[in-house]
Structure 1
Amino acid sequence: MVRMRHWGPVQSLLALVPLLIGLPWLALKHQYSLPTPIVDQYNPITSLPQLSEATILQYAKHLSEDIGYRTPGTREHALADVWMTEKAFQLQAECERVVASQPGRKLQCEVWRQEGSGSHRFDMMAARLYKRYVNLSNIIIRLSDGTDRGKADAVLINSHLDSTLPSPGAADDALAVGVMIECVRVLVNTPGWEPKHAVVFLFNNAEESLQDGSHLFSTQHPIASTVRAVVNLEAAGTAGPELLFQATSHEMILAYSQVPRPYGTIFANEIFSSGVLLSDTDFRQFEYYLNVTGLDMAVVGNSYMYHMRGDLVENIEAGVAQHMAENTFALIKHLTSPNSPLPGLASGYGRPRTVFFAYLGFFFVYSFRTAEVLYALLFIASCVLVRSAGGPSARGATMAKALLSVALGGLGALIGANAVAFMMQRVLGRGMSWFKGEFEPLILYGPAAMCGALLTQLPLAPVPEKALLHAQLLAYAFLAAAGQFAGVGSSAVFFLSAASTFVALLIDRVTSYLSASTVDDAGMAEKMQDGDAKGAGDRHKNVDKAEAKDGFVSLWTYALGQTVPLLTGTQLTSATLVVFVPLTGRIGSEAPAEYIIASIVAILGSYTLNFTTPFAHRFDRPALRKAVVILLLVVSVVMAVFARKEVFDKNHQKRLFVLHKEDLNTREQHLHIAAADGAPGFDDLVHDITAHFGADGVPPKAVVMDDWNSDWDTLYPFSAFLSPYKVDLPLDPAYDAPWPPEEQFMVSAVNDALDESKGTRTMTLKIDHPGIMWTVIAFDAHVLEWTLDNSPPEEFARHHIKEASFYGTDVWTVDMTIKWPPPPNAHPRSSGVNGLRVNFIGIQEKRMWPAKKAEADGSQAMKLFREFDAWLDEKTGGSVDALLMGCVSGEVVV
């Protein structure tokens, strides 16, 4: 192997450029490749049924645009329920016709429209919340062979029909609804397909109201007990392949290995399971109430559209529906086949001890035990390789210095990136300047991380580059083994990198030996020709010298050793940034978004380009200083460019939450405005809104967000992310109450009984809410028992109860027994009150913008929303997406 250490830094980097560009391109090409969309429902050559993306998107468009915003409690939600019910019975009729035309075929199609009421506890974001729902519905289709045995073990495929408050929900989750309908059609029309085990398609009707539909099915439907595994289909974006982000058993991971286009890693699985991502799906209800395993999958690319007006079919990338459909269909066929693991899951399942990851289109699966053996062997082999090295790189002091150098390089990268984050946010006031592109943080923080890494090397230089590569190998091999023995499956990323480095160094060792042997043989032959008898004895000395040769390695060693880290790191970095960058627009202004993104870039960037530190020591110290100066200049220029960038635009909008709230006690009206990000400019926007729409001469008031701020209880507990302002609105003297007195939004206590001897009060809280949806009540009490939870907190505490009911349902109740009277140290809002103080709020069903834009009722709220939306669009150039809700609230003592 030819050594090229005589090349300078520029020549060496140019030699590696094809690798540095080509491998990331290859990784991204495989990672984001999507199948070609299919239009026809039947293959024009074979006449067999096939999954049609065009048909799936047709269903998604009908739900999201023809019907529209399907928030539980709205008329549109009821229309979607009617449409899906009719569609289910049409599929059943089609199934019966097909079976009738194929005598002897074992296939039965059953349909249910479930309707029911219930309640459940929903803890999230360290908040305790209770849900109450009335008359909600689900639509269920079961395909089986018609026998009791065939129905005994079933797989559940789930999606949700409803959409959330500000979104038409084309991707979330009408896309998955369309996929499931297409899967039913293709299965039914596939000649000879007979399920060994049943498949249950659940079109649940209330996920966005905190998983009420899945709770209803899990706790009340008669076939729920037959479910052995769940495949949940979701969307938090509109582009890219569907990501497997939660897998809860080894059996289901193996089932996923059957899909044609796998996209998922244990890295994503462990991040989601850690709770770092404040997100949740219906999977929670199935896992908790049915005690079943499964797979949770979602489209996550371009999640700028998640829960926004832009969640439309026109923004769903071509091939996304096809990808989801083909993977889901493959899972159904496998899980309903004779090879299905479903019967074995009837007795329960264990948490997976399985490493899995998709890599360049392949899916790798192996057990934790196998991983422990492999990683331990690699660490031992690495120690042997390093220990057997000759020359300075093998000395203890040199290795210690090299290990320190590697550690400081990683720490320096982290400090450098976060230093720039501090400058951008605190000094320049231009935080989140990278928000408009998932990969833009690489441009801003990548050079800073590299500069920080190289700065830490100046006091240590020079260090033999071979020693540094050995140190890096030992560090990664140790992290892989130690992490795996600690039960962290994501340690596979260190194993992959260490294995690549080990192979490269081993090849370098062999070629160095062969090269030295060739040179020595030539020299020995010449000496023997001259009669020098010492030639043969010098052979081993010459080999040792060649092996140690200044501690340098060939550029080919970098090329080989960097291949796997580049491929792996590119996939990890892109997948992580695609999720986390848009997420910073909805995690609250107090969240350290700038530092989170900077740290992600530094950590994953250091892994991806892990040759940086050894490569820097390949050259002399002046070259290292020059590299630092150049990087400092690059960082300064990049910061200047990003400081001038606008954070948001039409395709990457700011989320603005706006409530028009009427207080039924005081008749006052206010505009409540909040943001969920830390980007600059929000305060100025609020003042502009106040000047245009607020009462004359009254400035906006910043509001403290806590559990006793009931203004935002409709969004509780997500309201903790908000940074709200309260704006006084001018009140029209001619304004009248929107409802006659007998139809007022009221909270009352019925069946009220006081037991002074026991110190308790028993009552039924009754909430009447005509024309109002998503009602919430909040109160302070020590609850002893109630119909919501078997184990309420054993203390005086704040309680929030949220409701979601079917359209036209106007009453809900809660039975409870509380300690009475309240303790002397009760919250100040509860003391001195002769009764139970209850805060209540709800959304007026006809007063949501843009959901009810086409049927604006002429109310003050809708008139304001129409003007506000047009003004905001012009003011911001379409870079802000506002959720506009008309709410009524009040306070009562019962």
Structure 2
Amino acid sequence: MEWGSESAAVRRHRVGGERREGPAAVPQPGREAPVPKPPVDACSGGARTRKRSAGGGGGGAGTGLSEARAALGLALYLLVLRALVQLSLQQLVLRGAAGRHGEFDAGQARDYLEHITSIGPRTTGSPENEIVTVRYLLEQIKLIEAQSNSLHRISVDVQRPTGSFSIDFLGGFTSYYDNITNVVVKLEPRDGAQHAVLANCHFDSVANSPGASDDAVSCAVMLEVLHVLSASSEPLHHAVIFLFNGAEENVLQASHGFITQHPWASLIRAFINLEAAGVGGKELVFQTGPENPWLVQAYVSAAKHPFASVVAQEVFQSGIIPSDTDFRIYRDFGNIPGIDLAFIENGYIYHTKYDTADRILTDSIQRAGDNILAVLKYLATSDMLPSSSEYRHGNMVFFDVLGLFVIAYPSRVGTIINCMVAMAVVLYLGKKLLQPKHKTDAYRRDFFCALGITLISWFMSLVTALILAVFVSLTGQSLSWYSHFYVSVCLYGTAALAKIILIHTLAKKFYYVNASDRYLGEVFFDTSLCVHCVSLTALTYRGLCSAFISAVWVAFPLLTKLCVHKDLKQHGARGKFIAFYLLGMFIPYLYALYLIWAVFEMFTPILGRSGSEIPPDVVLASILAGCTMILSSYFISFIYLAKSTRKTLLALTSVCAVTLLLVCSGAFFPYSSQPASPKPKRVFLQHVTRTFHGLDGNVTKRDSGIWINGFDYTGMSHITPHIPEINDTIRAHCEEDAPLCGFPWYLPVHFLIRKNWYLPAPEVSPGDPAHFRLVSKEQTPWDSVKLTFEATGPSHMSFYVRTHKGSTLSQWSLGNGTPVTSKGGDYFVFYSHGLQASAWRFWIEVQVLEERPEGMVTVAIAAHYLSGEDKKSSELDALREKFPDWTFPSAWVCTYSLFVF
């Protein structure tokens, strides 16, 4: 017998249920005999056909759960689970590895880190990056070589590649690099090796940031791993290549130069890429493969402190997160499988001046070093490495359990498990739904009505959260939770939960008037199980490895249900039932909270740099509503088992209302300058002189100003009170005939940031001015026009192209020869060079279908001065000084020139 299936008579004595007339219609104990009424539809108007029973019915009197105990018990349960998650996120205790032979020494790695970051920002092409950092790396590698064991041989090469490629990142663009720097070290057995595993980091940084976590700490870890491996008395079977690349922040240029041009690249059979999306914390394995499940097994077997998730892999590869790593280059251009790791905590200060060495715990370095050393050693002695391509068969399901260990199995095995779990639910529900009609009519109706009520409650909870988010955005209080995450929970989480409880309370009061509490608990548990089973089936059908989460959320609740239903039937919703029920839900809820922490740890900081077009409150409210739906799903039955929900609804509504009032009054300021945990607002300032040329080559327009971009939804609303001259009267206007609106975009993110400000300022005059000229114009035999250009200038330049009506860009000398458009239809080329680069010469070919008086193509070039004295101007420095301390204004000088041909 199942949960709440007391008798057929109970089913008959409920709203909309079947009725029997005459003497056989005997009332059940604790219920009033029903008054005969005309039959009503199962899902409509039932409230008017029944009177509330005295006990055990929908009114919640009698044997129901105490509301206070249920609410406090569930809150305490979730708090305990959250505490366990927080405990699992703590760093390991540093074990004093210094002096131990063969152990990773975090203290030595910290010395490397502090030396690298003391150099300051290291943009590609700057002396700090190309000379000072390279010299330091070579000095340390030489010292490591002097201390190495004679079993090993160390070779060092400094590569200066030139090349070009296209990438579909940020809507698509083409990249060109010239004479950038790679420092490559090969550690191999004394007799040499035919196969190698690659470890990759990058020592360059973005402008105006010391780049401690992104990615100096990874290079420091790799130096110490090189030291430990080279001094080891254990022989390696294969080579380990350490690539310290000097142009990753230029959108993955240096890794492309290495994998496509370096002679050692042909030896590589697998790689490990060390990255950062935050500052410190644990390093998460968030990409593996493609396919090659043996690499996941290698990590599982070797890593001392595992932290990995296939969920993170599928989220990252979906493109939701606006970021990319060298993993893509090795995968797409080298056809090599690998493992991608990144620090993810505290993304608020990623790519800012606060990304300093002192914010990275030594324990975090020790943890990363232990893992990288162990995995590299495992791969360098693996028999699978030489023939890694033979093991390319399917993906892996993998996830760590609170950082203690990793569970991994082939996705095809996961598919079998998922199908078995889904089949168990089908059998369980089928037994109830497919029995003879006279036994199941009431249950079948109740099940589908309960399913409808559940889905309606979820939909309304999402709508409620979104309405609040839109209202908050319209009042100008977006991101009020950015420095106070609990505000979002108190505002959107409580609203979503209150709406779910309210709808089920109304259903219980007005529709399920005379149904047994236990019976309703049974029905709503079954509907939640059904929803998760549908989710499991859909994810499995799509081939997503993340379906294992739904499998967990189906298997454990079903087993729990089968174990506790007898106790509920005999004794009701007493303490023993509650204890066993919560215990059975322990694993799915613990893991769900673990994943939810990771989601908010990654996405909350990203919402502060996602551009001016995406309302962050709407995104966060949607995520919180979704989490509320999931976490409440198996506790919906408690609403029907409880005597009342009045106090719970009152408490949730009060918290939501008070929080909304405080948010709308501006009580929660989004940003913070607290030294221990800053959460700054990001602003880009570009002091630019723009020159527009007409078809005849004459200057048609020339202006100069400071172009201002805020990287979040609030724009300059918080800045204007501090700097009154930055206001909506100086909003930038799009030059409709110019590519990318006629402004010097560093990267093609114009579709993310449409609100700009242009503050008039004197012209800039860099000491190394950029020059751009048309070298030749040729008519080809296939009736197209070939334009050859030459450009010289600073280490970073952007080239833009827009074809006119009647013309198309057919080919060019960049990338693979096929022009790639950015979002909006224009063409974007990102250029950078190291030291002593020659002039950049390239050509484009325009197919003219129709001669027009305005010409065939408009091109523009922007020169970005990111280092040295040329990056500064007195006006830029004066404006930057006016910004409050809770901002991070990243500033540089640039020039922009437009031409029509």
TM-score bucket of the superposed structures, by smaller chain = 0.7 to 0.9
> Are the structure 2 counterparts of residues 756 and 114 from structure 1 closer, same or farther at C-alpha, using a change threshold of 3 Å?
closer
Q: Cα offset for 1:266?
A: 1.4
Q: Cα–Cα, structure 1 residues 758 and 12, in superposed 2: closer, same or farther, change >3 Å? A: closer
Name the aligned partner's letter for residue 211 of structure 1: L
Q: Find the counterpart in structure 2 of residue 789 from structure 1.
A: 815
Contact 1:334 1:340 in 2 (8 A): no
Could you tell me how far apart the structure 2 residues matched to 1:811 and 1:413 are? Answer: 60
1:21 aligns with 2:42: no
Q: Equivalents in 1 of 2:571, 2:423: separation in Å?
A: 22
Deviations 1:35-68 (A, max 9, x none): 223565323xxxx14222222222222222x211
Let me know the Cα RMSD of the aligned residues.
3.1
1:398 match: secondary structure: helix
Give the SS at the match of 1:765: strand
2:776 is equivalent to residue 746 of structure 1:
no
Residue 739 of structure 2 corresponds to which residue in structure 1? 708
Which amino acid in the other structure matches residue 525 of structure 2? Answer: L
RCO higher in structure (CA 8 A, sep ≥6): 2
CA shift in 2, pair 1:498/1:748, >3 Å = same
- Corresponding residue number in structure 2 for 1:448: 495
Shift of 1:791: 4.3
Q: CA deviation at 1:845?
A: 4.8
Contact 2:203 2:216 in 1 (8 A): yes
Which of residues 185, 197, 201 in structure 1 aligns to 2:238?
Answer: 197
What is the aligned counterpart of 1:177 among 219, 223, 237?
219
Write the letter of the residue equivalent to 1:682: M
Asked if 1:126 corresponds to 2:171, the answer is: yes
Measure, in 1, the Cα distance between the counterparts of 2:402 and 2:766. 60
Q: Among 796, 808, 833, which residue is 1:805 paired with?
A: 833
> Is 1:685 equivalent to 2:723 in the alignment?
no
Question: For residues 566 and 486 of structure 1, what CA distance do their matches in structure 2 show?
Answer: 24
Q: CA deviation at 1:334?
A: 1.1
1:832 alignment partner, one of 854, 867, 872: 854
> Where does residue 880 of structure 2 map in the other structure?
869
Provide the rounded CA distance (Å) in 1 between the counterparts of 2:689 and 2:765.
10
Offset of residue 510 of structure 1:
4.6
1:594-628 CA distance string (max 9 Å, x none):
121111111123223433311111124xx234533
Partner Cα distance (1:866, 1:116) in 2: 35
How far 1:272 sits from its partner (Å)?
0.8
1:600 equivalent in alignment to 2:628: no
- Which deviates further from its counterpart, 71-80 or 780-789? 780-789
Give the structure 2 partner of residue 676 of structure 1: 711
Name the CA shift for 1:29/1:756 in 2 (closer, same or farther; >3 Å).
closer
Is contact 1:260–1:330 with CA below 8 Å preserved after alignment?
A: yes
Q: 1:626 to 1:780 in 2, by over 3 A?
A: same
State the distance in 2 between where 1:661 and 1:423 align: 37
2:160 to 115, 131, 156: 115
Alpha-carbon deviation of 1:678?
0.8
Q: For the structure 1 residues 476 and 844, does the alpha-carbon distance in structure 2 shift closer, same or farther, using more than 3 Å as the test? A: closer
1:479 counterpart SS class: helix
Superposed displacement of residue 879, structure 1: 0.9
Paired residues for 1:272-283 under 5 Å: 272-283=316-327
Distance 1:183 1:392, change over 3 A: same
Question: 1:5 & 1:489 partners in 2: Cα distance?
Answer: 43
Whole-angstrom distance in 2 between the partners of 1:394 and 1:265 = 43
The structure-2 alpha-carbon separation of the partners of 1:94 and 1:551, relative to structure 1 and needing over 3 Å to count, comes to closer
Query: Is the contact between residue 5 and residue 555 of structure 1 (CA under 8 Å) also seen in structure 2?
Result: no
Q: Distance in 2 between matches of 1:335 and 1:839?
A: 48
Deviations 1:650-678 (A, max 9, x none): 11110001111123566642010111111
Q: Aligned to 1:702, what secondary structure does the other structure show?
A: coil
2:93 and 2:449 map into 1 onto residues whose CA distance is: 53
Deviation at 1:684, TM superposition (A): 6.0
Q: Quote how far apart the aligned CAs of 1:336 are.
A: 0.9
Structure 1 residue 718 corresponds to structure 2 residue 749: yes
User: Residue type matched to 2:707 in 1?
Assistant: H
- How many residues are paired up? 803
1:511–1:370 distance in 2 versus 1, CA, 3 Å: farther
In the other structure, the counterpart of 2:276 is: 235
Q: State how far apart, in whole Å, the 2-side matches of 1:634 and 1:405 are.
A: 25
What is the Cα deviation at residue 491 of structure 1? Answer: 1.6
Question: CA deviation digits over 1:382-439, x for unaligned, max 9?
Answer: 344456679999822222233233323332332232222122212x321111111455
Distance 1:625 1:28, change over 3 A: same
1:113 counterpart SS class = strand
Aligned with 1:747: secondary structure?
Answer: strand
| Cα offset, 1:797, TM superposition | 6.3
Counterpart amino acid of residue 657 in structure 1: F
Residue number in structure 2 paired with 1:529: none
Contact 1:176 1:233 in 2 (8 A): yes
The equivalent of 1:186 in structure 2 is 228
Question: For residues 283 and 173 of structure 1, do their structure 2 counterparts lie closer, same or farther at Cα, with a shift above 3 Å needed?
Answer: same
The amino acid across from 1:801 in the alignment is V
Q: TM-score, normalised by structure 1?
A: 0.84
Question: In structure 2, what is the Cα distance between the partners aligned to 1:794 and 1:18?
Answer: 55
Post-superposition Cα deviations, 1:467-511, rounded to whole Å, max 9, x if no partner, equal 211222233234224422331221211211222211221211354
Distance 1:218 1:236, change over 3 A: same
- Superposition deviation, residue 172 in structure 1: 0.2
What residue identity is the alignment partner of 1:776? S
SS in 1 for 2:177: strand
In structure 2, the CA distance between the partners of 1:382 and 1:780, relative to structure 1 (3 Å rule), is closer
2:134 to 81, 105, 122: 81
Q: Which residue of 2 aligns with 1:663?
A: 690
Separation in 2, partners of 1:360, 1:323 = 12
1:564 aligns with 2:587: yes
Q: 1:882 aligns with which of 877, 885, 889?
A: 889
1:489-888 correspondence to structure 2 within 5 Å: 489-511=545-567, 546=569, 554-620=577-643, 623-643=644-664, 644-650=667-673, 651-663=678-690, 668-679=703-714, 682-683=716-717, 685-686=719-720, 689=723, 691=725, 699-704=729-734, 708-709=739-740, 712-731=743-762, 737-739=765-767, 744-750=769-775, 752-755=776-779, 758-769=782-793, 772-781=794-803, 782-793=808-819, 798-809=826-837, 811-819=839-847, 821=848, 823-824=850-851, 832-833=854-855, 837-846=858-867, 861-872=872-883, 876=884, 878-888=885-895
**Aligned position for 2:395:** 352
User: What is the SS of the residue equivalent to 1:77?
Assistant: helix
Using the size of structure 2 for normalisation, the TM-score is 0.83
Match of 2:98 among 30, 41, 45: 41
In structure 1, C-alpha distance between the alignment counterparts of 2:350 and 2:81, rounded to whole Å: 31
Q: Deviations over 1:806-854 (max 9, x none)?
A: 13436211134433x57447xxxxx524x864311112355xxxxx5xx
Name the residue aligned to 1:432.
479
Structure 2 distance, partners of 1:23, 1:738, is 58
> Within 2, Cα distance between the matches of 1:469 and 1:794?
52
Flag the 1:360–1:226 CA change in 2: closer, same or farther, 3 A. closer
SS in structure 2 of the partner of residue 720 of structure 1? coil
- The CA deviation at 1:553 is 9.3
Alignment pair present for 1:12 and 2:61: no
- AA aligned opposite 1:812: W
